[in-house]
Structure 1
């Protein structure tokens, strides 16, 4: 069996972390996401995954946030079958396969050029691949701007320096006539604390971007309006978390302030 040997920078290497977490979830007796395609893909990549020190809480929260973002995408593409979907910082995510959008949807997977090159080799599919540094401008020229857009940014916010995420959001909202933006929102503390997490520390990455108030993006000048904040500690899928993580998560769910330091899904319309 051929095995791919990815040659990636530190930031790009985080795609292997989330891939491995989804793969491990798929092997659980009661998986949350059940992404068997990610499990198959991880088996075909020549990489020392154990060095990432992925713990049960990361497996569970990664799978849960992916599942909730998938639900948002499915709902939007069902309501807008002529839309475009942008998966920003897509890595080796299999979201298009999981969501199975209508054939009339144009799906764009966007990441660094070296990432999309790897993706085209080991995860071919019907999506349009766009190689771009999202902190720069100009890459949107490759994407039609005359249709509604569903924009997903999973795990992207903490790794974009300065105000580049806000700038990108303004450009996206200005490019399309309407749409939604869905992301997993990190508080400032959660983003700061990421660099001390064993998995992130193992890669040598320092993450720092986040915001506390879910309505803060409404002030970015992008015309965003908050639709929903999902506190994932209160999701029914927590019943599938392993113990003692399940009990701890249920305890945390009693406090909105504490729950926001974990995983939450934010949806905005523009």
Structure 2
């Protein structure tokens, strides 16, 4: 099998972090996500993934947060079988394959033009591909706006400059009539600390800031209302994590403040 060398800049290359974490998870005795498609994609890429220095904790956390976001998509598309799904910063993630949405769903994978141009080489899925700068308010112009929409943003916020996520949210809630936004939310400390994580540091990425209070986005004048703040530390799947990671995570679960620093899935209605 011929392996493909990717020509990506440092920011675009961050897609390899989540891809490899999900590939590693799929090879565990008890995977959290079980995404064998990500493992197959990684096997076809000419890249030394060991340079990413992904720790076991990041593998488990990434797989679990993806599973929780997939569940949000499945729940929404079951309730709205004619909905639009928008996966922001999709990278090479085969989320649509994992979610297997109803036939009436229109799925849009959005990322840098250089990234979405790679997807047909690795994924047979029939999604709509949008290569765009998502800080441009006009990028959703070709997406239907009169249907319920669920927007997924996994691992995206810390890599957006300044208040770009606020502006992006306003773009989305103005474009679509109704829907949900689901994302893994970073606190200010978690976003700041990311730049010292070996995986991020190895790529030279400097993370932006996050927000602590999950209701902060409700103050952005974008029509958002918080539905859920789900902590990974309190997910039942933690019972399958190995020790001592399981014990440490369970200890954190007793504190909302500590749980927020770990990882959380935020869902908003608009």
Confirm or deny a common fold (TM above 0.5): yes
Do the aligned partners of 1:4 and 1:122 also contact (CA within 8 Å) in 2? no
- For residues 4 and 239 of structure 2, the distance between their equivalents in structure 1, rounded to whole angstroms, comes to 36
- For residues 256 and 4 of structure 1, the distance between their equivalents in structure 2, rounded to whole angstroms, comes to 43
- For residues 137 and 177 of structure 2, the distance between their equivalents in structure 1, rounded to whole angstroms, comes to 19
- For residues 22 and 225 of structure 1, the distance between their equivalents in structure 2, rounded to whole angstroms, comes to 30
Higher deviation after alignment, 129-138 or 188-197: 129-138
- Residues 90-127 of structure 1, C-alpha deviations (whole Å, 9 max, x = no match): 00111100000001000000000000011122223110
Deviation at 1:167, TM superposition (A): 0.4
- For residues 227 and 33 of structure 1, the distance between their equivalents in structure 2, rounded to whole angstroms, comes to 24
TM-score normalised by the chain length of structure 1: 0.99
- For residues 9 and 169 of structure 2, the distance between their equivalents in structure 1, rounded to whole angstroms, comes to 24
Q: Runs of 4 or more off by more than 2 Å in structure 1?
A: none
- Residues 138-189 of structure 1, C-alpha deviations (whole Å, 9 max, x = no match): 1111211111101000011111101111001011001111000000000000
Deviation at 1:209, TM superposition (A): 2.2
TM-score normalised by the chain length of structure 2: 0.99
Deviation at 1:72, TM superposition (A): 0.3
> Per the alignment, in what secondary structure is the counterpart of residue 81 of structure 2?
coil
Match of 2:111 in 1: 111
Determine whether 1:234 maps to 2:223.
no
Deviation at 1:42, TM superposition (A): 0.6
- For residues 221 and 119 of structure 1, the distance between their equivalents in structure 2, rounded to whole angstroms, comes to 35
- For residues 29 and 246 of structure 1, the distance between their equivalents in structure 2, rounded to whole angstroms, comes to 16
> Per the alignment, in what secondary structure is the counterpart of residue 254 of structure 2?
coil
Higher deviation after alignment, 238-247 or 125-134: 238-247
Determine whether 1:51 maps to 2:64.
no
- For residues 18 and 240 of structure 1, the distance between their equivalents in structure 2, rounded to whole angstroms, comes to 20
Determine whether 1:251 maps to 2:260.
no
Determine whether 1:219 maps to 2:219.
yes
CA RMSD of aligned residues (A): 0.7
Alignment coverage as a number of residue pairs? 270
Determine whether 1:210 maps to 2:215.
no
Match of 1:149 in 2: 149
- For residues 15 and 95 of structure 2, the distance between their equivalents in structure 1, rounded to whole angstroms, comes to 13
Instruction: Specify every segment of 5 or more residues in structure 1 that has no aligned partner in the other structure, as ranges.
Output: none
Do the aligned partners of 1:56 and 1:242 also contact (CA within 8 Å) in 2? no
Determine whether 1:13 maps to 2:13.
yes
Deviation at 1:225, TM superposition (A): 0.2
Match of 1:190 in 2: 190
Listed as ranges, the matches of 1:54-65 within 5 Å are: 54-65=54-65
- For residues 116 and 217 of structure 1, the distance between their equivalents in structure 2, rounded to whole angstroms, comes to 28
Higher deviation after alignment, 189-198 or 202-211: 202-211
